[in-house]
């Protein structure tokens, strides 16, 4: 199977490249290499690489030339704080970029696997048929793209599927996100800011588990516009997760409660019709902490980033 991975130099995309390699595939990775996309994430993997913007017509030429059976789209602006600070790129990359790939799917014969998020459901619990209630500019852009995927399946009959994972954690996640932020700031002996009361609940899944479930769907090949939720089934508050990371590290995590992020969803809690096993959170956290301890070279250059350093980085 010929697989093209757009956004494959990011956190989940690079885990997906590794999973594809484990199953004997050599994918083509197309990625713009924004702040979050790094060739370093792909060290040790077998892939072809091309630098490309998902929003550009060039991507159609690449698809024509490579002639993939499947295109998986991980390319996105992904950080909620950044979307509050400056939303525009979330619209161009997440919405227009996805529509650009949908346009390619009209012209060329491939299956389009669209990576969405549990955040599109907002804080109400539900399943794949629940209404979309996005709260942030990030989740609004993801929900918009999902609606375009559904429209293209219905109107043009393209082959596609929408995948909605919950909060991923694991190696190679950019330090702006909660778990790497806790690990790295604690290693650097600085406090960790907690938004609001820290009781917001997220459903945590180890990134390799997500990659496996998505590749299982790709291999199964049913592409009739279905939505597939991928929850981790392990719901913990921010405060609980920080406590667990501290226990795994054997260190006291210093926390500082700061103003809540505007529009902050209290929880995400979707169910799924898929059946799969997941890594228990303490085991996943142990692997994650070990990776950050062993790979300082990877994260040290990233520690001067505003969204890692500031306590309330969404403030303009
Ligand atoms: N990380 C999570 O917890 C999580 C949870 C649910 C869903 N998702 C979704 O999974 C996908 C991947 O998330 P991630 O955490 O790996 O994100 P990430 O920020 O680590 O990686 C995003 C990748 O997209 C690339 N990219 C950005 N703009 C691009 C453009 N215009 N053209 C080409 N490439 C571009 C970046 O260079 C990077 O490699 C996203 O769609 C995200 O919304 C993530």
Instruction: Tell me what pLDDT residue 288 has.
Output: 99
* Residue 132 CB neighbour total at 10 angstroms: 16
- Per-residue pLDDT, averaged over 107-122, amounts to 98
CA distances from 95 to 98, 250, 289, 304 (A): 5, 42, 34, 29
The mean pLDDT value for 16-32 works out to 98
Strand partners, 113: 72, 161
Pick from 224, 233, 229: nearest CA to 274? 229
Q: With the C-alpha atoms ordered 205, 179, 236, 248, is the resulting torsion angle positive or negative?
A: positive
pLDDT of residue 316: 85
Pocket flag, ligand 1, residue 94 (CB < 6 Å): no
pLDDT exceeds 90 at position 260? yes
pLDDT > 70 in the chain, percent: 100
Task: For residue 250, report the distance from its CA to the centre of ligand 1, in Å.
Answer: 31
Predicted local distance difference test score (pLDDT) of residue 126: 87
Q: Enumerate domains of the chain plus CATH numbers.
A: 3-168+205-230 (3.40.50.720), 175-203+235-265+280-309 (3.90.25.10)
pLDDT at 244: 98
As a whole number, mean pLDDT of residues 12-36 equals 98
Across 260-267, average pLDDT: 97
Q: Name the one residue in this structure whose structure tokens are 């199977």.
A: 1
Give per-residue pLDDT as tens, 150-159: 999 999 999 9
Q: Is 33 in the pocket of ligand 1 (CB under 6 A)?
A: yes
Catalytically annotated residue among 112, 138, 169, 268: 138
Structure tokens, 132: 């979309």
Q: Is the pLDDT of residue 264 over 90?
A: yes
**Contact in structure between 4 and 28 (CB atoms under 8 Å):** yes
User: In this model, does residue 71 exceed pLDDT 90?
Assistant: yes
Give the distance (Å) from ligand 1 centre to CA of residue 223: 22
> Which ligand 1 atom is the nearest neighbour of the CA of 75?
24
HSE-CB at 32 with a 13 A cutoff on CA atoms is 16
CA–centroid distance, residue 37 to ligand 1 (Å): 8
Q: What is the pLDDT of residue 186?
A: 98
CA-nearest residue, atom 43 of ligand 1:
78
| Whole-number pLDDT of residue 95 | 99
* Structure confidence at residue 217 (pLDDT): 98
Mean pLDDT of the chain: 98
What average pLDDT does range 175-191 have in this prediction?
98
Separation of CA 93 and ligand 1 centre (Å): 10
The number of beta carbons lying within 10 Å of the beta carbon of residue 163 is 22
Ligand 1 pocket check for 185: Cβ under 6 Å: no
Question: Average pLDDT of 244-271?
Answer: 97
Residue pointed to by tokens 């459903």 = 203
118 noted as active-site residue: yes
d(CA 159, CA 223): 5
Asked if 57 is an active-site residue, the reply is no
Catalytic site residue from 31, 53, 77, 119 = 119
Which are the contacts of 226, defined by CB distance < 8 A and separation ≥ 6? 128, 161, 162
Q: Is the CB of 68 under 6 A from ligand 1?
A: no
Does the pLDDT at position 75 exceed 90? yes
Q: What band does 80 get if pLDDT is binned at 50, 70 and 90? A: very high
Mean pLDDT of 174-180: 98
Task: Decide if 58 is catalytic.
Answer: no
């Amino acid at each position: 199977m010929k697989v093209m991975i757009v956004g494959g130099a990011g956190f989940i995309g690079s885990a997906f490249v590794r999973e594809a390699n484990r199953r004997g595939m050599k994918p083509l990775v197309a990625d713009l290499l924004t702040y979050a996309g790094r060739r370093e994430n792909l060290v040790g993997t077998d892939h072809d690489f091309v630098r490309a913007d998902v929003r550009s017509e060039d991507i159609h030429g690449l698809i024509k030339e490579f002639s993939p059976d499947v295109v998986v789209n991980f390319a996105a602006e992904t950080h909620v704080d950044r979307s509050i600070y400056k939303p525009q790129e979330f619209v161009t990359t997440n919405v227009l970029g996805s529509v650009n790939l949908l346009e390619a799917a009209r012209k060329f014969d491939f299956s389009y696997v669209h990576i969405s998020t549990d955040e599109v459901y907002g804080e109400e619990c539900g399943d794949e048929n629940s209404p979309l209630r996005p709260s942030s500019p990030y989740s609004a852009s993801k929900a918009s793209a999902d609606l375009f995927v559904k429209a293209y399946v219905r109107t043009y009959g393209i082959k596609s599927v929408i995948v909605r994972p919950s909060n991923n954690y694991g190696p190679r996640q950019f330090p702006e996100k909660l778990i790497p932020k806790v690990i790295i700031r604690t290693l650097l002996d600085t406090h960790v800011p907690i938004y609001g009361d820290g009781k917001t609940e997220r459903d945590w899944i180890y990134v390799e588990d997500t990659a496996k479930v998505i590749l299982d769907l790709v291999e199964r090949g049913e592409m009739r516009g279905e939505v597939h939720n991928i929850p981790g089934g392990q719901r913990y508050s921010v405060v609980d997760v920080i406590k667990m990371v501290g226990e795994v590290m054997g260190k006291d995590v210093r926390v500082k409660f700061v103003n809540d992020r505007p529009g902050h969803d209290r929880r995400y809690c979707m169910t799924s019709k898929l059946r799969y096993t997941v890594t228990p959170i303490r085991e996943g956290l142990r692997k994650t902490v070990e990776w950050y301890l062993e790979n300082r070279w990877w994260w040290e250059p990233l520690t001067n980033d505003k969204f890692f350093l500031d306590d309330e980085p969404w403030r303009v």
